[in-house]
Structure 1
Amino acid sequence: MSYKNFPMVPRVIFGRGSFNQLNEILAPKRLSINAPFIYLVDDVFKNNSWLTSRIQLSYDDKLIFVSSKEEPKTSQVDALVEEIILLTKERPSGVIGIGGGTLLDLAKAVSIMLTNNGESKDYQGWDLVKNEGVYHVGIPTISGTGAEVSRTTVLTGPDRKLGINSDFTPFDQVILDSELTKDVPTDQWFYTGMDCYIHCVESLTGTYLNAFSQSYGDMALELCKEVFLNGELPEVESQEKLMMASWHGGMSIVYSQVGVAHALSYGLSYLLGTKHGIGNCIVFDQLEEFYPEGVKLFKEMKAKHNIELPKGICADLIDEQFDIMIDISLSLEPLWENALGKNWEKTITREKLRELYQKM
């Protein structure tokens, strides 16, 4: 039997205020005065000097604000790479992503595409990347996606929504500063936190489960319960615990896989542009038959935090649109196999998937 030999993030710094150490972490990584650092920052921080004033730009360093209103696209990655090549004299010393899962995934993809030929859509899949990317740093400002720790960067391409899954994808350095999550709106906090919770449920109930995944998944699940279900935690403690839940949840799926909720939400995201966190919630809400315990707990958390999910988002779709979502979903074979085993195709038919989508 051959075992997976996955890379991990080699360096991580954790603690409130650790963002202030960014400049000293980057300084030794500068290749030359003509090789800039490129900061990709969520544009919600555009008028937020509390964060941006702490980034020290020198030489030709560039700060590029990027909208995270939509899920990251391959075309967006290619445009950023083009922009960076035009702006810089030499290959950048590093790419630093500051934001939620969208920005972290964009930073990982841009780092890879600066050293690999072609378009980013050519690398959607497993282990297609040939060359190591440029040095890249991930700094999450919201917790839950696990993008800070995963070996994938999930992108919507012209034909499908699929990650660039490779050994070159994980960050070289991650900074986990929970203070950066302090201004996240409640609904966003919930949807992204639930992405982590759903990672745990899918990993812990899947056929790919092993002791490595389970130890991380169990820890993340407990932390999610503390944050979203138990009594009111002090704000700082809640932020730190959710940041750790996101990390552990991401680690849990590194060595296993996600399942039904992700397989279906990729379809929503590709066709309707539904953001990943809320998409997972809309789907998971309908998955009692696959995850009875997990969904029951999810509904309790939803009620506790007064979250109203959008309803009827598939109500007006035509046959062709359902077919697009079903095709995307069925193409994610490892997810279905993890959720239901090798014979998953016996239960997961096109009719079954349409029936599920129609409930959303």
Structure 2
Amino acid sequence: MTYKNFPMVPKVLFGRGGFNQLNDILAPKRLGIHAPFIFLIDDVFKSNPWITSRISLSYDDRIIFVSAKEEPKTSQVDELVEDIILQSKQRPSGIIGIGGGTLLDLAKAVSIMITNDGGAADYQGWDLVKNPAIYHVGVPTISGTGAEVSRTTVLTGPDKKLGINSDYTPFDQVILDSELTKDVPKDQWFYTGMDCYVHCIESLTGTYLNTFSETYGQMALELCNEIFLSDNLSETESQEKLMMASWHGGMSIAYSQVGVAHAMSYGLAYLLGTKHGIGNCIVFDHLEEFYPEGVKVFKQMKAKHNITLPTGICADLSDSEFDIMIDVALGLVPLWENALGKHWKKTITKQKLKALYQKM
């Protein structure tokens, strides 16, 4: 048997206030005075200097504020790469993504596309990237997606939503500073945290499961249960534990896969633009058939935190629109194989998926 030799993030800094060390971390990585560091930052911080004031810009360094209101797109990556190349005298010293999963995925994708020909859509799939990315750093400001540790960058392309899954995708450096998550709105905290919870359920119940995945998944699941069901954690403890749950949840799928909820939420995101965290919640709420215990606990978490999910988002869709969502979901073969085994097509039909979507 041949085992996949997966890369991992080589350097991680963990601790409240650790973001203050970013400038010291970057300094030795500068390639020259005309080789800038490019900071891709969630534009929610545009009017809040709490983060940007701690970044020391030198020479041709730039901050580019990016909206995270929509899921990241291949076209957005291509536009950012073109802008960076045109504005830079030399190849950048590095890309630093600061924000949630959207910004982290964009930073990973941009760092890859600066060294690879064509457009980002050409690399949606598994192991299509030929050249190593430039140096890239991830600084999450919300916890749950696992984007800070994963080897994928999930993008919506012209005809599918699919990641650039590559050994060159993982960050070279990650800074895990839970203090950066302190102002996350309650609903967003829940939706993104549930992305981590769903990662764990799908990994731990999947056919791809192995001891590597199980070890990380169990740890992340225990942390999620404590964070979302316990009354004994301080705000700081909750923030730190969720940051580590996100990390472990991301690691749990490195050697396995996600499953039904992610496949179907990709369909929602592609057609309706539904954000990933809330999309997972909307789908997972209806998946008792596949994850009975996981959905039961999810509903307890939802009730405890007074979360009301949107309903009827598929109510007015045409048959052709349902077909688009279904085709996107069915295209994610490894996810279905992980969830249901190699004969998953005997269980999952277009009619079954349509009936599930119609409940949402």
Q: TM-score range by the shorter chain?
A: over 0.9
Partner amino acid for 2:301? M
Partner amino acid for 2:328? I
Gap regions ≥5 residues in structure 1 = none
Distance 2:232 2:83 in 1: 45
- Residue of structure 2 equivalent to 1:84: 84
Equivalent position SS for 2:253: helix
- Residue of structure 2 equivalent to 1:26: 26
- Residue of structure 2 equivalent to 1:225: 225
Kindly report which structure 2 residues correspond to 1:143-154, keeping only aligned pairs within 5 A, or say none.
Answer: 143-154=143-154
CA shift, 1:231, in A, is: 1.4
Distance 1:131 1:341 in 2: 33
Distance 1:223 1:48 in 2: 30
Number of equivalences: 360
- Residue of structure 2 equivalent to 1:65: 65
Residue 307 (str. 1) matches residue 313 (str. 2): no
Residue 359 (str. 1) matches residue 359 (str. 2): yes
Distance 1:90 1:32 in 2: 8
Partner amino acid for 1:74? T
Distance 1:349 1:257 in 2: 21
CA shift, 1:232, in A, is: 4.0
Distance 2:31 2:86 in 1: 18
Distance 1:277 1:23 in 2: 31
- Residue of structure 1 equivalent to 2:209: 209
Kindly report which structure 2 residues correspond to 1:202-351, keeping only aligned pairs within 5 A, or say none.
Answer: 202-351=202-351
Kindly report which structure 2 residues correspond to 1:134-173, keeping only aligned pairs within 5 A, or say none.
Answer: 134-173=134-173
Distance 2:292 2:227 in 1: 21
Kindly report which structure 2 residues correspond to 1:103-182, keeping only aligned pairs within 5 A, or say none.
Answer: 103-182=103-182
Identity %: 81
- Residue of structure 1 equivalent to 2:41: 41
Distance 2:99 2:114 in 1: 20
Distance 1:354 1:301 in 2: 27
Partner amino acid for 1:71? E
Gap regions ≥5 residues in structure 2 = none
Equivalent position SS for 1:54: coil
Deviations 1:254-277 (A, max 9, x none): 010000000100000000000000
Residues 223-232 or 212-221, more deviating: 223-232
Which runs of 4 or more aligned residues in structure 1 lie more than 4 Å from their structure 2 counterparts after TM superposition? none
- Residue of structure 1 equivalent to 2:199: 199
Distance 1:214 1:328 in 2: 28
Distance 1:307 1:278 in 2: 11
CA shift, 1:230, in A, is: 1.2
Equivalent position SS for 1:96: strand
TM-score between both structures, scaled by the size of structure 1: 1.00
Distance 1:322 1:187 in 2: 27
Distance 1:67 1:241 in 2: 27
Partner amino acid for 2:324? I
Partner amino acid for 1:68? A
CA shift, 1:151, in A, is: 0.2
Distance 1:240 1:25 in 2: 22
